[in-house]
């Protein structure tokens, strides 16, 4: 959004939810149903979080048809937040959160601001790239970081592919690439953490366990030449805008949230969904986390 975007009309909401993924939308809808005034601040053009742009079916979300994709889930979230009458400000990239007279001011990068009695951080995660600064994004030539639409769009026919990572995403995507006509698919895992059902489907001879060296520019791993490197190193929280709050973190670097209320170390600020990594990361647990935060805020507002 351009710098000339007019500021939002100053007003104070009961709760400002940063992030329009499953956790944030769940929290906002429940607060609205309780009769309160939440607002959703979404950095992207549309709500949906990591679900948006995900073309894979998600049978794990058992309340939807077995064939429902991530995009389908994102569309349902968008419909539900609209029907709940909750205002959503898209392209609102929060730059900082400042406590002010028992309220919080949330400032966007373009100068817009919102005031709220409570803040819910539901900003989610981004894919963790390689240690090399030259390959920390999915835009590096010859490198794909993380699962999703960019994998589906890639033509793997005849390619030599190195998959880096030892979790479910690494093994699932390695198997996917094999099914799409790749000439060679090698998986490099410092440690294997994936489900046995995925590990057992991958030829043992193509899985290299232990330390390895990556030459990004040369597209080499341990001196072996590849056409494409695919990186599945997990996730890191999107929470740079919380720096001024000095929030407590977990040993893994995610935001700490009370298991009963989801409140952070800053009174009045809650954190839910994958930005906390409290629960197994999926749509269902994110939705539940949103409800937990909404109930905790309801108790405060009605006290």
> Does any domain span residue 121?
yes
Backbone angles phi, psi at 60, to 5 degrees: -70, -25
Q: What is the CATH number of the domain that holds 247?
A: 3.50.50.60
Instruction: Specify whether 96 is located in the same domain as 30.
Output: yes
Which of the four pLDDT bands, split at 50, 70 and 90, describes residue 165?
very high
> Model's pTM, two decimal places?
0.86
pLDDT in tens, 6-28: 444 457 999 999 999 999 999 99
> Does any domain span residue 210?
yes
Percent of the chain past pLDDT 70, that is, above it, reads 94
pLDDT at 139: 52
Instruction: Specify whether 18 is located in the same domain as 166.
Output: no
Q: CB under 8 Å to 269, separation ≥6 — which residues?
A: 97, 104, 118, 119, 120, 121, 245, 247, 263
Q: 122: which strand partners? A: none
> Does any domain span residue 184?
yes
How far are the Cα atoms of 27, 97, 128 from residue 131, in angstroms, in the given order?
34, 29, 9
> Does any domain span residue 6?
no
| Alpha carbon distance 284, 54 (integer Å) | 16
97, 104 Cβ separation under 8 angstroms: yes
Least trusted range by pLDDT, from 15-19, 156-160, 275-279: 275-279
Average pLDDT of the chain, as a whole number: 92
> Does any domain span residue 99?
yes
Q: Is the pLDDT of residue 69 over 70?
A: yes
Q: List the domain range (segments joined by +) for residue 250.
A: 12-126+235-301
The number of distinct structural domains making up the chain is: 2
pLDDT at 10: 57
Q: Which helix (H) or strand (E) holds 220?
A: strand 220-221
pLDDT at 131: 66
Instruction: Specify whether 107 is located in the same domain as 163.
Output: no
> Does any domain span residue 7?
no
Instruction: Specify whether 29 is located in the same domain as 147.
Output: no
* Average pLDDT for 188-209: 96
């Amino acid at each position: 959004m351009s710098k000339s975007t007019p500021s939002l009309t100053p007003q104070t909401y009961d709760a400002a939810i940063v992030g329009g993924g499953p956790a944030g939308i769940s929290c906002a809808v429940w607060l609205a149903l309780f009769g309160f005034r939440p607002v959703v601040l979404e950095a992207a053009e549309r709500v949906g979080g990591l679900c948006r742009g995900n073309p894979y079916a998600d049978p794990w979300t058992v309340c939807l048809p077995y064939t429902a994709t991530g995009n389908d889930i994102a569309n349902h979230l968008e419909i539900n937040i609209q029907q709940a009458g909750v205002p959503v400000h898209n392209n609102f990239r929060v730059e900082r959160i400042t406590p002010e007279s028992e309220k919080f001011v949330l400032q966007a990068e373009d100068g817009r601001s919102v005031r709220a009695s409570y803040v819910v951080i539901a900003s989610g995660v981004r894919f963790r790239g390689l240690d090399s600064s030259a390959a920390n994004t999915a835009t590096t030539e010859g490198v794909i970081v993380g699962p999703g639409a960019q994998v589906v769009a890639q033509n793997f026919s005849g390619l030599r592919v190195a998959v880096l990572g030892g979790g479910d995403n690494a093994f699932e995507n390695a198997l996917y690439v094999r099914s799409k006509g790749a000439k060679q698919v090698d998986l490099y895992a410092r440690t294997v953490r994936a489900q046995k059902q995925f590990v057992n489907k991958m030829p043992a001879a193509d899985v290299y366990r232990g330390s390895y060296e990556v030459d990004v520019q040369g597209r080499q791993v341990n001196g072996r030449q590849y056409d494409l490197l695919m990186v599945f190193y997990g996730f890191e929280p999107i929470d740079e805008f919380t720096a001024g709050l000095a929030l407590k973190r977990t040993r893994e670097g995610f935001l700490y949230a009370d298991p009963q209320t989801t409140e952070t170390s800053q009174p009045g600020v809650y954190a839910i969904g994958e930005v906390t990594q409290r629960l197994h990361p999926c749509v269902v647990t994110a939705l539940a986390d949103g409800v937990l935060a909404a109930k905790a805020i309801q108790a405060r507002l009605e006290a």
